[in-house]
Structure 1
């Protein structure tokens, strides 16, 4: 294995997982974040010392703001995002939704390599959304947008789309609520769900047969692709 070379001409390379380690993918993502101009470390430090997100919303589903973690632990490496999109192979006019998108890394990979595909990212923490949108303004990606949204809000329903990306973002009730939202969409149209992380994948296999048992999932080291 060797370190992933960064070039501004191709900041999101398509490479096989066996050609690099996960740490090298994270290190490459640090360089890409710096090249894009993200100030994630400063924002996460400010969030950690802020009282803004200390109070739990008055609702039945616990909310996790994921403060205090290293930035790279919060976000999927760019090379992995590129690999996932290559596997999905979205077509012109289709729509990708990232449920819990952090700073919106996927928006940049979609915008650069799938410019005729729509992207919507939802993120709970407004400061992350603002920073993602600040960087997005440097590019001409009119089909990509990042929005502040609490996925556990009982009044919220994700936009109808072709593909959904979900990371381990909260408690069982929070994950179940989102998966039930997707189930309602799947009654109207076929969807694919990329579940990243051990817990979300376990939860789908354990409690959501509508997604896990209709079609054979495609299982990878860090994520699984489910098809309704």
Structure 2
């Protein structure tokens, strides 16, 4: 296989999984991050020694800040994001929410290829949100925003949307709290949930039949699409 070539005219290419390896997708994402101007390595290095993330807001729902991991382990490759969006085919006026968005990679793919679709990203770590918004300001994507938010906050419920993207972001209680929030939203409207990672998918199949058994899920190597 050939490495994924980067082009400023085509920064988020739509390519099939069998045309590249996962490592090549990650390597391509490193180049895209550099082109966009991200300084994620500096941010993550500072987070390791930060005292601000040593306290749990709710001892009953453990929170994982995912500090000390390689940046590429925290984020979905741009090519995979593009693939997911191509499958979903969001329409003008619809809304995508990323629950645990990291630096907000999806905001840039949505902004470029789906400019009439609204994007909201929630991320627990404020420094990541600030860095994502710093880069986002360079582009004219008025429908995209990244917000600092603890998803485990009992007073918080995600905004109503058409699509929700969830990566493996925490403990079983944390994941269950978010899925119960989505269950409440699904009582009034149909939603699609893109679950990325083994744990979140296992949890949905194991404990959330309202999402896994109503409609046949679309299963892919790295993610599964559920529809309420």
Tell me if both proteins adopt one fold, taking TM over 0.5 as the criterion: yes
Aligned residues: 228
Instruction: Give the Cα separation in 1 of the matches to 2:194 and 2:56.
Output: 28
Secondary structure at the counterpart of residue 63 of structure 1: coil
Deviations 1:99-122 (A, max 9, x none): 000000000000000000000000
Unaligned runs of 5+ in 1: none
Aligned equivalent of 2:208:
208
Deviation for aligned residue 1:2: 1.2
1:82 aligns with 2:75: no
Instruction: Give the Cα separation in 2 of the matches to 1:220 and 1:197.
Output: 11
Deviation for aligned residue 1:58: 3.7
1:112 aligns with 2:116: no
Name the Cα RMSD after superposition: 0.5
Aligned equivalent of 1:27:
27
Aligned equivalent of 2:191:
191
Deviation for aligned residue 1:59: 4.0
Show structure 1 runs of 4+ deviating over 6 A: none
1:176 aligns with 2:158: no
Query: Normalising by structure 2, what TM-score?
Result: 0.99
Instruction: Give the Cα separation in 1 of the matches to 2:58 and 2:180.
Output: 21
Instruction: Give the Cα separation in 2 of the matches to 1:192 and 1:10.
Output: 27
Instruction: Give the Cα separation in 1 of the matches to 2:92 and 2:111.
Output: 12
Aligned equivalent of 1:65:
65
Deviations 1:148-169 (A, max 9, x none): 0000000000000000000000
Query: Normalising by structure 1, what TM-score?
Result: 0.99
1:52 aligns with 2:60: no
Secondary structure at the counterpart of residue 204 of structure 2: helix
Deviation for aligned residue 1:54: 1.1
Unaligned runs of 5+ in 2: none
Instruction: Give the Cα separation in 2 of the matches to 1:54 and 1:184.
Output: 31
Instruction: Give the Cα separation in 2 of the matches to 1:40 and 1:8.
Output: 20
1:140 aligns with 2:136: no
Secondary structure at the counterpart of residue 53 of structure 2: coil
Secondary structure at the counterpart of residue 205 of structure 2: helix
